[in-house]
Chains A and B, each alone.
Chain A
Amino acid sequence: MIAIVPMVASTVVAATPLIYAALGETVVERSGVLNLGIEGMMLIGAVAGFAAARATGSDGVGFAAAAAAGVALSLIFGFLTLNLQTNQVATGLALTLFGVGLSAFVGHNLAGLPVERLAPITIPGLTAIPVVGDLLFHYDVMVYLSVALFVGVQWFLTKSRIGLTLRAIGESPAVAHAIGKPVLATRYLAVIFGGATAGIAGAYLSLVQTPMWVEGMSAGKGWIALALVVFGTWKPTRVVVGAYLFGGVTQFQLFAQGFALPIPTEFLSMLPYAATIIVLVIICRDPRTILLNQPASLGHSFHPTA
């Protein structure tokens, strides 16, 4: 029973960056925009957050800087795809390639330097409860904020007026535009939100998970977040469940090594990537699942007439 506690705890830590990145992308895609640049924005967030936290000694400043860096990159994407109507797939790929290059360039002198890991917070009375306290109340503040983010996004998409507008724009920007909804502004806000969450997800890697800056340290997590949005059929609840499942898969390898299973570590490291493919196959196997859930205008440019 007690042995499960560290397993759950490390799963939560592994899942948290995926939750940030995937929830942000869910909002972006529900507005009809496909941003494949998460990986690049995460890396920029990771290096910006690391540099800022080292310079100021404050994790809060680090995460704020990471969010700002993610937003800056997402604005390039927004300008190109929304104003200039470039191909969203190509622009997203460009964003990732640019982010990989830029983060490696600016992070050149930061590689290998230490930073203090963001500490778990203690909640008086609750953290001290045996087992339950360790399971639920022994995490860093970003874990709790990720839960809050989930609640917020779920409420925003299903209950708020502007969330409904955003979904309408994602289904049919032409109709939304015709009844006077601000397509461009809404999509911009969604893209910016996605940039901020991806930046925070990256900083979680460099300030909590590792905690240090390593070139290309996201190692495909941005792409896994994209797959999670499909896995969750664009619904926040399922996206979060998927993120925890993936967190479990990534942690499994550590425990398998602990049990000294006769499997090379490389094959255990393949698990998250192989799992992503398998999960995509399961979800996409029935084209109706995708057709019924995917925002109808996803990936299409929209040019308002008059």
Chain B
Amino acid sequence: MLRLERRATPSSLMRFASPLLAALCMLMTGFLLFSALGKDPMEAFYLFFVKPVSSTYGIGELLLKTTPLLLCGVGLALGFRASVWNIGAEGQLTMGAIAGGGVALWFGDSDSSLAMPLMVLAGILGGMAWAAIPAFLRTRFNTNEILVTLMLVYISQLVLSWLVHGPWRDPEGQNYPQSQGFGDAETMAVLISGTRVTWGIVYALALALVAWIFSQKTFAGFRMQVAGLAPAAAAYAGFSEKRNIWIALLLCGGMAGLAGICEVAGPIGRLQQQISPGYGFAAIIVAWIGRLHPIGIIFGALLMSLLYLGGEAAQMGMGLPSAITGLFQGLLLFYLLATDLFINFRLKRVDSGKTRPTAPRESVA
């Protein structure tokens, strides 16, 4: 008989093995799911996970979708580490896209070399401003940031919808709810020719590195980690909770805003009603699967990006709804939460012949 036993110290091996185990469980569930749907599982796997990235263009698409996931994931992880539950990266991304896109529309077809830097700046500031609302309400009015950030997602999407239906609608766009296309100077340069991937991925990777240095090597990063791991210790040491909340939300808002402008100034090239297939929410899973660590999050973002590509391929190649991506995302997070159990516990064989041990087990706070 097997029994769960608490480990003396958390297993660092399991910390890294757990995401792999979770991904494996997800694949096994996928195997069963494809079989149940009457598809050949091996062929489906090939179509879902291998074919999309078997060309240069495919690799480009992978990196392209990795960009917003990585930016939002790294930003969210900074907050999660400090127990700041910002789950509205999607809204901050949307506001970044609106602010940066507004600057792009203001420049029109101008060739000004100022256009792109100002768009990026506006995007970052737009995301930050949107994240400042929950930061202010939490620090000033004690208002739960989970619900506020989420409500602001819906509001930001309605603002975008209003803009592309109303004041910013392209007069020559045959009544489609979209803005004019951005000019050449207002579009990000392609990084690898023959693909659509832009310089955004370079910014994202650089920022992941900066975030790692911030959380590991700076005092502000240390304060945030202590606040997350041991709130009482942080309070006793006099670390300001309010400052942590502001830093966590503003950094994440800025990074999500950058993700937004990278999307509209990159592959999309204009403002339109829908600019993200839920990158901001998927980034929550990315942050967890990456162990809230910027380097881990790079791998998490790549995996999640592959799930998006696979979903699109499954839709085209197998006639499956692309919503299968969301299903896999949810499963992945469930499995990860479950396999994380083995960081603190292990399975131990109990000899059923002897009497069961009655010693009290330690409690989990």
Please list the residues of chain A having a beta carbon within 8 angstroms of any beta carbon in chain B.
36, 40, 76, 80, 84-87, 89-91, 93-95, 97-102, 104-105, 108, 174, 215, 219-220, 223, 226-227, 230, 264, 266-267, 269-270, 273-274, 276-277, 280-281, 284-287, 290, 300-306
Contacts and interface: CB of A to CB of B under 8 A. Distances in A.
Given A80-B338, A97-B285, A280-B148, A104 B321 contact: yes
Given A80-B337, A80-B338, A86-B340, A215 B323 contact: yes
Contacts of B333: 90, 93-94, 97-98
A290 B138 CA distance: 13
Interface in B307-332: 321, 323-331
B284 interface: yes
Contacts of A97: 281-282, 284-285, 326, 329-330, 333
- A-B pairs, top 8 by smallest CB distance, nearest first, are A101-B326, A98-B330, A104-B323, A266-B162, A108-B321, A306-B360, A94-B333, A101-B327
Contacts of B337: 80, 84, 86-87, 90-91, 94
Given A100-B326, A105-B321, A301-B364, A93 B143 contact: no
Given A94-B334, A101-B324, A305-B360, 17 more contacts: A36-B146, A84-B341, A87-B337, A90-B288, A94-B330, A97-B284, A97-B326, A101-B323, A101-B326, A101-B328, A104-B321, A264-B162, A274-B155, A280-B148, A290-B142, A303-B362, A305-B363
B147 A270 contact: no
Interface of B: 85, 87, 137, 141-144, 146-148, 150-152, 154-155, 158-159, 161-162, 165-166, 281-282, 284-285, 288, 321, 323-331, 333-334, 337-338, 340-341, 358-365
B203 to A, nearest CB: 26
Given A94-B333, A97-B284, A284-B141, A219 B154 contact: yes
A52 B152 CA distance: 34
Nearest to B147: A227
A303 B162 CA distance: 50
A97 B326 CA distance: 7
A81 to B, nearest CB: 9
B323 A306 contact: no
The A contact surface, by secondary structure, is: helix
Given A84-B338, A266-B165, A305 B361 contact: yes
B358 A280 contact: no
A69 B148 CA distance: 28
Q: From A90, A104, A305, name the one whose CB has the most chain B CB atoms within 10 angstroms.
A: A90
B356 to A, nearest CB: 11
A304 B360 CA distance: 9
23 contacts: A80-B337, A84-B341, A90-B333, A93-B333, A97-B285, A97-B326, A98-B331, A101-B323, A101-B324, A101-B325, A101-B329, A174-B363, A266-B159, A274-B151, A276-B147, A277-B147, A277-B152, A280-B143, A280-B144, A284-B143, A286-B142, A301-B364, A305-B360
A264 B168 CA distance: 14
Given A86-B337, A273-B151, A306-B361, A98 B327 contact: yes
A274 B341 CA distance: 38
A280 B159 CA distance: 22
Contacts of B341: 84-86
A277 B363 contact: no
Contact of A101 (B143, B144, B330, B361): B330
A226 B147 contact: yes
A104 B141 CA distance: 37
Contacts of B148: 277, 280
A267 B144 CA distance: 24
A78 B261 CA distance: 39
Contacts of B362: 303, 305
B323 A284 contact: no
A40 B166 CA distance: 32
B327 to A, nearest CB: 4
Nearest to B323: A104
Contacts of B159: 266, 270
B155 A285 contact: no
A202 to B, nearest CB: 16
A63 B35 CA distance: 30
A85 B329 contact: no
Q: From A76, A80, A98, A105, name the one whose CB has the most chain B CB atoms within 10 angstroms.
A: A105
Contacts of A230: 144, 147
Nearest to B359: A306
A185 B274 CA distance: 44
B284 A93 contact: yes
B364 A273 contact: no
Contacts of A85: 341, 364
Contact of B141 (A76, A264, A281, A304): A281
A89 B144 CA distance: 12
Contact of B155 (A95, A273, A280): A273
B162 A267 contact: yes
Contacts of B141: 281, 284-285
Contacts of B330: 40, 94-95, 97-102
A306 B357 CA distance: 10
Nearest to A276: B151
Nearest to A306: B360
Given A80-B334, A108-B321, A223 B150 contact: yes
A39 to B, nearest CB: 9
Nearest to A222: B150
Contacts of B150: 220, 223
A2 B327 CA distance: 48
A277 B88 CA distance: 14
A95 B281 CA distance: 12
B154 A89 contact: no
Q: From B165, B323, B328, B361, name the one whose CB has the most chain A CB atoms within 10 angstroms.
A: B323
Nearest to A109: B321
A224 to B, nearest CB: 8
Contacts of B324: 101, 105
Contacts of B282: 97
A285 B139 CA distance: 10
